[in-house]
A and B are shown apart, each in its own frame.
Chain A
Amino acid sequence: MASTIFKDNSTSQVPNKKKKITVPYTFKTSHIPTYLVLIIGAIFAVIPFLWMVSTSLMTLGETINKQLIPASPNWANYSEAWNDANFSKYFLNSVLITVSVLVGLLINCVLAAYAFAKIEFPGRNFIFAVLLATMMIPEAVTIIPQIKLIRGEIFPLPYLPETWTFVPMWLREYFPSSSNWMNTLQVLTIPFMANAFSIFLLRQFFIRIPDDIWDAARIDGAGHLRYLWQIVVPMSKPVIMTVTLFAFIGSWNAFMWPLLVTTTAKWRPLMVGLWTFVTEAGPETQLLMAGAMITIIPVLIVFFITQKEFTEGIATSGLKG
């Protein structure tokens, strides 16, 4: 499998840097079917969002009577959902989790990808191939051992003994005090601080940076770390952006794992909070939709800001990966 991926990659067509030739646009009647397809597709894509927004502004009565649009927007649903579902807590948790994952993931994966792309060491290709194979493993297989692992039942994970009084209290909060990592920040972050897909994407980009630059840097006395930080990373902004966005989406949307490892509200992220709300809110559809909207908004904001890099990053990484 791995060898095939290598092969695909070397021969697949990476889209050329688009030469911007502006063709003057003229509308022809033959374009009508094309627009029709595009508009129908767009309606299919967007209608659940419209339904969500519309329902989130209805009163309970309106959701029961067949109505598509509320008579007047009932904004109070949002504050009610926000308070009922304890979203302020979960929101903060999700932000903290996502930021920690992103920082850890970028450091670990950039380092590893750079080593796989630019440093010669014995067993490099073999380790890389094994790494790629891990992308195929279903979550269902790993989840049971992972749960035992983080409960400290298989072999103890590192922790801070209670007797270490010199560790300040505020810092203690963020470190495990026992080898049972249930309901902690690190159980939601550390397992996600490295993944094969990110390393693969970054390596594919790094490997195309010409070696002359490295030779020049080395003559100037730079080591690998300095070269990586001062030359490679600034040159690789697009791919780092793509990896960051993927990781952001993955971390913000994570569900099965947080559902299993958070039994209390302490570090429960937004998505699990939403699910808890769903099981509790019952028939109050308008509150549910307001809740869903609240969890979606941050992603939408990030998406609209980075829209271009996002779609292009995913389109090309999809082609390459």
Chain B
Amino acid sequence: MAEKNFKGTIRFQESLTGYLFITPAIFLISLFGIFPIGYAVYISLHRWRIRKGDFQGFENYFKIFGDWWGALAFLGGLSLLVFALWVIFTAVQGRENKAPFRLGGSLLAIASLVITNWGWRTIMAKGDDDFLGSLIITLYYSLGTVPTQIAVGLVIAYALFQNVRGQEFFRMLYFLPYVTPVVAAAVVFRVIFSEREAGFANQFFGMFGIDPQKWLAESKPLTELIFGLELNGIFAGPSLALIAIMIFGIWSYAGYNAVILLAGLSGIPKNLYEAADIDGATGWQAFTNITVPLLSPVIFFLAVTGFIGTFQAFNHIFVMRSTFSRGTVDVTSVEIFDTFYKLNKFGYAAAESIVLFAIILLLTIANFTVFNRRVFYG
């Protein structure tokens, strides 16, 4: 009996120490990380311009979407798409008859795309163009940078992984852009991509006989500048200013991806390559059949963190944007910042940020359902 009591006291003391140890960190994270989410929802339900106004329910959200059915179709369609992907990639695991799942999932995916598209067109017609447009710009930015970053990183990592001289020296050089303060680097890129003829980008492309461009001050889409096409909406593609910002994004993260991929490469057992060599596999076959599958967890990690990161990207875009780009580089986080900081519409900005959060959540879930089971964990 006495012993049991003693043990109980020890356990109580242990728990108490545990709680004491985590208290400072948990307090700070709750106060500055978790509490603000709830409070942001609260703000978003009010008319709130610097000072709190009347409660107005979902009015702010309505201003964003302009049409409830459209909003429902858009967000619901996206969720349905995630579910369809889950059926196609995850639910079929370990089942004997995969065909009906695949077929059903594909049909569901097509249906959800149609719904999403209808929803998008509806809210685009009636909702807040600035905010919804910023989502498209964010999407361009993500799709333009993340896959490129990973591809460039993979090529560099693979080259570094060969038995080369000065591996550590090269690795250090590639890592430099990542450690450079973003604001300072963005200031440098502002000058590199300036519209002046003496700007570095214009001098460099001038060597190939390309006329000086306005770069960060150019609001026209690339498709119009190169091919003279006049497209509208999603199909027009990113403006030249956004492309310049994408180049910055790729510049700062490609090396970081390379270093992480290199660490992944050195974790792959050498004897696999030897076996492949004996079986007469070419270098390319070894790359696609051994390297890529064994590296897939790392690639997956980089893709997920990359997408989440680009959807939150702010600092360098804020520094590099020029008024002449006429909002063609204003990704969602910049748009939210403007609504809140310049226009002082706190309630509306909070509603926008909650929508952004919902989209990031959906994206993350989609990433996990599609890729997680398909990556190879050795």
Chain A contact residues, CB within 8 Å of chain B = 1, 4, 8, 11-16, 18, 23, 25, 31, 34-35, 37-38, 41-42, 44-46, 48-49, 51-52, 55, 63-68, 107-109, 111-112, 114-116, 119-122, 124, 127, 130-131, 134, 136-146, 148-149, 154, 190-191, 193-196, 199, 224, 249, 252-253, 255-256, 260, 271, 274-275, 278, 285, 288-289, 291-293, 295-296, 299-300, 303, 307-308, 310-312, 314-316, 318-319, 321
Q: With an 8 A cutoff between CB atoms, is B236 at the interface?
A: no
Contact with A along B349-378 (1 / 0, CB 8 A): 110111011001100110010001000011
- A–B complex contacts, Cβ < 8 Å, 29 sampled: A1-B364, A31-B162, A37-B159, A42-B174, A48-B192, A51-B192, A111-B21, A119-B18, A120-B15, A121-B14, A121-B15, A134-B29, A136-B308, A140-B356, A142-B32, A144-B36, A144-B43, A148-B39, A255-B315, A271-B183, A274-B187, A275-B183, A295-B181, A300-B180, A307-B172, A311-B172, A315-B263, A316-B263, A318-B259
Contacting residue for B159 out of A34, A65, A66, A108, CB 8 A: A34
**Chain A residues whose CB sits within 8 angstroms of the CB of B190 once the complex forms:** 278
Task: Name the contact of A295 in the complex, choosing from B184, B194, B353, B357 (C-beta under 8 A).
Answer: B184
Asked if A144 and B28 sit within 8 Å, CB to CB, the answer is no
Residues of A within 8 A of B255 (CB): 41, 45
Rank and list the top 7 A-B pairs by shortest CB-CB distance, nearest first: A121-B18, A315-B263, A145-B36, A115-B21, A112-B25, A119-B18, A194-B25
Give the shortest distance, in Å, between B4 (CB) and chain A (any CB): 17
The residues of B that contact A193 with a CB separation of less than 8 Å are: 24, 28
A315: nearest residue on chain B (CB-CB)?
B263
Q: A64-B198, A307-B172 are in contact. Are A48 and B21 (CB under 8 A)?
A: no
Interchain CB contact (< 8 A) of B377 among A11, A256, A292, A315? A11
With A15-B267, A149-B36, A314-B260 known as contacts, the answer to whether A41 contacts B174 (CB < 8 A) is: yes
The reply to whether B17 and A115 form a contact with Cβ atoms under 8 Å apart is yes
Q: Which B residues contact A (CB, under 8 angstroms)?
A: 11, 14-15, 17-19, 21-22, 24-26, 28-29, 31-37, 39-40, 43, 152, 155-156, 159-160, 162-165, 168, 170-177, 179-185, 187-192, 194, 196-198, 200, 203, 251, 254-256, 258-260, 262-264, 266-268, 297-298, 301-302, 308, 311-312, 314-315, 318-319, 332-333, 336-337, 340-341, 346, 349-350, 352-354, 356-357, 360-361, 364-365, 368, 372, 377-378
